[in-house]
Structure 1
Amino acid sequence: MLTLHHLFTTLLSESGLPSVSSTGRDAILILLARACRMFAYGASSLVLALFFAALHVSDARIGLFMTLTLAGDVILSLLCAVIADRVGRRRMLFLGSCLMIVSGAVFALSEEYWVLLGAAVVGVVSATGGDFGPFRAVEESILSELTGPETRADVLSWYVTLASAGSAVGTEMSGRIVEALRAREGWTLVDAYHGCFGLYAVMGVVNLACAAMLSERCELRTGREEGAGEGETAPLIEESDDEQGRGEGKKKTRTSWVAQISRETLSIVAVLWFLLMVDSLADGMANMSLTTYYMDRKFGLPKSALGDIVSVAYFLSSLSSIFAGPLARHIGLVNTMVFTHIPSSTAVLLFPLAQSVPLTFALLLLRVGLNNMDQAPRAALIAAVVRPEERTAVMGITGMLRTLASTTGPSITGVLAGNGRFWIAFVVAGALRLAYDLGLFALFINIKLHKHEATVEADEVPEGRSAEGVREQSGP
């Protein structure tokens, strides 16, 4: 009985749930909002193209809608990220939720193409199921603010895990919801799609409620001038040493609506941005839609079988993300990113060599199952190497660059597939991913982490961790 109790305690500790609980209500609200939002994104992405097809919109206009929607999301995401710390993170999440509600309501009521396009570009609609809107960078920055080096990877792991689970459930449920609504008397297929988008608006309301309940702890606390009053705003641009020495000690302060990124930070994140763009280009070349299309062409599998294979892979991906936080605690952020990503990258590289369905399925499970384990450590790594006041902007720019890089990948694969060289896309994508992994390890394995945060003291080390291990992760 003691053994079972010890096993349960160990599993609970390693799961990262105690870290989520100790972070407080704000973290739980953000996790809930993300799960509900990704449920809506997953549901809408499945029916969006079908909705336009039911409205007899041409394929060219559907493609235009997807492109412009993605462009609008990228611009909105970047804009919100660079001004969120000045305007207020909670206000930005509240505004994003309002845009999500309005977009969902328009899609639930309108059938005019240009009205729908305007609502998608200006508002928040996920055409691909990805979280490209104004939320992610701000939420990751808030979670990084609420956590310390020892709990951050755990909390961010659950942020990724619940997002994957929400998206998977939304994708699975949307088809059933449409069929259930269509079966009701007097409901057409288009009406059923409208009902699905109504649920999207409801999830926006949940996000709005969560944003409204967030506390002051979510706002940027670093950079306030000593002795500043409760309502005063600290300068967002720090002065250099030379500026501070001018004018016989006269202190100059400047404020800006746009977050500033120091040269020291840029020298670090510019290299990381380049590596992440290489990885995103590879992901775009072998995204899941293209992967299932390749499997369909190669083996002629029934669509139901393809759906089952992908569903199992996504479920495994959600499950594996839970372990990213505990693994990062034991072996470090960079090691977790690299050592979980290399097997996934190798599976992409070897994917065309599989000549049987079971082996192809195994490689797909290996690829997708481990593919998301680097997301939480990546966000934690960014939070650990930049100043707190720079996190939101850096995370927003990171998401924008990754999105732009990934959008060029399918075009390259399309050219290769059209020339009968579809398999080359997976080989190139796998090689690029491995180059990213090795480059990340070589350039960041010895980087100093958490130097802008309080040093971890020996008495703060949680049970099961040595102070030496924490100091090693925190840098010399």
Structure 2
Amino acid sequence: MAQLAKKFKWLYRELGIASVWETGKDAWLIIISRWCRMLAYGANSLILALFFSELKFSDFYIGLFMTLTLVGDVLLSLLLTLVADRVGRRRVMFLGSVLMMFSGAMFSVFENYWVLLLGAVIGILSATGGDIGPFRAIEESTLSQLTTPKTRSDVLSWYVTTASIGSALGTEFCGRMVDWISTRDGWSIIDAYHKMFYVYVAGGLINIICTISLSEKCEAQKQVVETEALEMLLDENGARREDDDGLIPNPKPRLHLFGEISSETRWIMYRLWFLLSVDSLADGMVGHSLTNYYFDKKFHMAKSTLGDVVSISYILSSVSTIFAAPLAHHIGLVNTMVFTHVPSSAAVLLFPFPNKVVLTVILFFIRTGLNNMDQAPRAAFIAAVVSPEERTAVMGITNMLRTLASTTGPSVTGILAVTNRFWVAYVAAGCLRLAYDLGLWAMFINMKLHKHESKKAKHANQRRDEESTEFSREASF
């Protein structure tokens, strides 16, 4: 029993569960909040296009809806993310949750195209099942602040893992509930769709409850303001400034509404943003919906079989992300991002070549099973190379650029599909992903991490030493 307990204890720490527990209530609430939100997003993405089809909207209007919704979500998310640290992270997340409930309520009641479009653009509606809105950037920044460099990748890994599980459960739950509701007497399929949008409303409500339960520790630290105030008190030689009457001026720190990003951070992020845009473009070219279509077109698989394949891929993706943090502890963040992504990229490159279903499915499982293992290390890497006060803005811009790049991918694949060169999209996407992997490793493998946190710890130690010295002097008197 002692040996068994010892193994369980090792597993408890190795898988990062201990880090999540030790980080505290705020981290648990953020993880629960995202799990519920992704469950709602998964349910919504399954029925949205079907709902429009039942309402007899044309393909043109459905495409227009998706495009305008994406544009509205990206602009709103970027704006809210950039002001979050100044206005208050919890306030912005509360507002986002209210807008999420607003969109769900509109879709659960109305059927007019323009009313629904208004609800989607003004509110927050996930048309693709992805995590849209200001939530992810703020939550990742907050979790990075609540954790230490040692526990950060563990907590972020569980943040990603539970999100994947939420999406899978939402899709499964929604599919079964729609079938059950639509078979009841007096209920149509449109009625079933309307009822499922209440899941979206419930997801927003749970987000509100979790947000108002968060503590003050989740808010951005005021280091920038304090630094600016100190600089106003000192002259060029480091001596205290005095006015003409010999008085020390009272500094009034400048508060900037939008988060600021230093030139040093911008130089790092320009390179990373370019690489991430390339990777997102490739992912958009061979997204899951297009891959499902490719399976059906090439092998004419039964829909139930295809559904089983997709479900298994979601499970593999969820399980693999659990091991991202332990791997990062052993080989480093950049190595984990690259070494787990290269096999996935190679699987995309080779995907169109086998003529047998089994080999193609195996490549699909390799791709999806390893594809998300770089998410938590990537968030931890960004947190490690930018200062704490820049994280929210940087992560918000990162998510925006990735979203925009991924949305251009399907257009490229569509052109290739029309000319009967669908397979070229996978070869091109695989090459782009491998270029991203090699570029990431070449540019960032030797980068020094946690410099800002090291400076913070150094300043904190100096302050403690100064306070201790001052206390000793007072005690000697």
CA displacement 1:110-130 (0-9 Å, x = unmatched)? 111111101101101100000
How far the C-alpha of 1:336 sits from its partner, in A, is 0.5
**Partner of residue 185, structure 1:** 185
Q: Which residue of 1 aligns with 2:432?
A: 432
Deviation of 1:132 after TM superposition, in Å, equals 1.6
> Gapped runs of 5+ residues in structure 1?
227-233, 458-476
Q: Which residue of 1 aligns with 2:151?
A: 151
Q: CA deviation at 1:4?
A: 2.0
CA distance, structure 1, for counterparts of residue 140 and residue 268 of structure 2: 19
Q: Give the alignment of 1:45-60 within 5 angstroms.
A: 45-60=45-60
**CA drift at 1:236:** 11
**1:296 — aligned with what?**
296
Q: CA deviation at 1:238?
A: 8.9
Residue 404 (structure 1) aligned with residue 404 (structure 2): yes
Partners of 1:74 and 1:133 within 8 A in 2: yes
Q: How does 1:315-334 map to 2 (within 5 A)?
A: 315-334=315-334
> Per-residue deviation at 1:190?
1.0
Q: What does 1:169-180 align with in structure 2 at a 5 Å threshold?
A: 169-180=169-180
- Pairs within 5 Å for 1:29-108: 29-108=29-108
Corresponding residue SS for 1:254: coil
Matched with 2:210 is 210
Q: How has the CA–CA distance of structure 1 residues 136 and 237 changed in structure 2, closer, same or farther, with 3 Å as cutoff?
A: farther
- The match for 2:265 is 265
> C-alpha offsets along residues 63-91 of structure 1, whole Å, 9 cap, x if unaligned?
11111111111111111110000000000
Distance in 2 between residues matched to 1:50 and 1:139, nearest whole Å: 31
| 1:184 Cα deviation from its structure 2 partner | 2.7
What residue is the counterpart of 2:6 in the other structure?
6
Q: Secondary structure at the match of 1:101?
A: helix
| Letter of the 2:386 counterpart | V
SS in 1 for 2:77: helix
Distance 2:254 2:236 in 1: 12
Counterpart amino acid of residue 169 in structure 1: L
Deviation readout 1:381-410 (Å, 9 max, x if unpaired): 000000100000000000000111111111
Counterpart secondary structure, 2:5: helix
Amino acid at match of 1:22: E
Paired letter, 1:308: D
One-letter amino acid matched to 1:305 = T
SS at match of 1:82: helix
Contact preservation (8 Å) 2:229, 2:252: no
Q: Deviations over 1:324-381 (max 9, x none)?
A: 1111111110010000000000000111111111100100000000000000000000
CA–CA separation in structure 2 for the residues paired with 1:132 and 1:220: 21
Letter in 1 for 2:411: S
CA contact (8 A) 2:282 2:429 kept: yes
Does the aligned pair in 2 maintain the 1:235–1:255 contact within 8 Å?
A: no
Alignment of 1:311-350 (within 5 A): 311-350=311-350
Q: Give the 3-state SS of the residue equivalent to 1:111 in structure 2.
A: coil
The amino acid across from 2:101 in the alignment is I
Letter in structure 1 aligned against 2:106: V
Residue identity matched to 1:81: T
Q: Secondary structure at the match of 2:451?
A: coil
Tell me the CA shift for residue 252 of structure 1: 7.3
The change in CA–CA distance for 1:418 and 1:254 in structure 2 (over 3 A counts) is same
1:455 is displaced (CA, Å) by 7.1
Deviation per CA, 1:227-277: give whole Å up to 9, x if none.
xxxxxxx869999x9989799587674221100000000010110000000
Pairing 1:422–2:414 present: no
Q: Distance in 2 between matches of 1:312 and 1:49?
A: 23
**Corresponding letter in the other structure for 2:33:** A
Paired residue secondary structure (1:453): helix
Shift of residue 5, structure 1, vs aligned partner: 2.0
Alignment match, 1:282: 282
Return the alpha-carbon distance in structure 1 between the equivalents of residues 390 and 418 of structure 2: 44
Name the CA distance, whole Å, in 1 between partners of 2:185 and 2:236: 73
Residue in 2 aligned with 1:142? 142
Equivalent position of 2:378 in the other structure: 378
Per the alignment, residue 131 of structure 1 pairs with: 131
Provide the TM-score with structure 1 as the length reference. 0.91
CA contact (8 A) 2:224 2:389 kept: no
2:442 matched residue in structure 1? 442
Instruction: State the 1:15 CA deviation.
Output: 1.2
Distance (Å, rounded) in 2 between the aligned partners of 1:25 and 1:402: 30
Distance across 2 between alignment mates of 1:138 and 1:244 = 38
Alignment length (residue pairs): 449
**Displacement, 1:3?**
2.8
Question: Which residues of structure 2 form unaligned runs of 5+?
Answer: 243-248, 458-477
Shift of 1:31: 0.4
Letter in 2 for 1:103: S
Return the letter of the residue paired with 2:401: L
Q: Which SS does the other structure have where 2:374 is aligned?
A: helix
| Counterpart Cα distance in 2 of 1:237 and 1:115 | 52
* Contact 1:236 1:255 survives alignment (8 Å): no
Could you say which residue in structure 1 is the equivalent of 2:164? 164
Per the normalisation by structure 2, the TM-score is: 0.90
RMSD after superposition: 2.2
Alpha-carbon distance change, 307 to 244 in structure 1, aligned in 2, over 3 angstroms: farther
Q: Which amino acid aligns with 1:35?
A: W
Provide the C-alpha distance between the structure 2 equivalents of 1:405 and 1:281, rounded to a whole number of angstroms: 5
Q: Is the 8 A contact 1:237 1:255 kept in 2?
A: no
Task: Check the 8 A contact 1:69/1:127 in 2, yes or no.
Answer: yes
1:398 aligned partner, one-letter code: T
Cα 1:187–1:296 shift into 2, 3 Å: same
Q: For the structure 1 residues 172 and 237, does the alpha-carbon distance in structure 2 shift closer, same or farther, using more than 3 Å as the test? A: farther
Distance 2:300 2:165 in 1: 29
SS of 1:125's equivalent in the other structure is: coil
Q: Is the 8 Å Cα contact of residues 333 and 380 (structure 1) preserved in structure 2? A: yes
1:358 aligns with 2:355: no
User: Is the CA contact (8 Å cut-off) linking 2:225 and 2:254 kept in structure 1?
Assistant: no
Greater Rg over alpha carbons, structure: 2
Change (3 A) 1:237 1:345: farther
| CA spacing shift, 1:224–1:267, aligned 2, 3 Å | closer
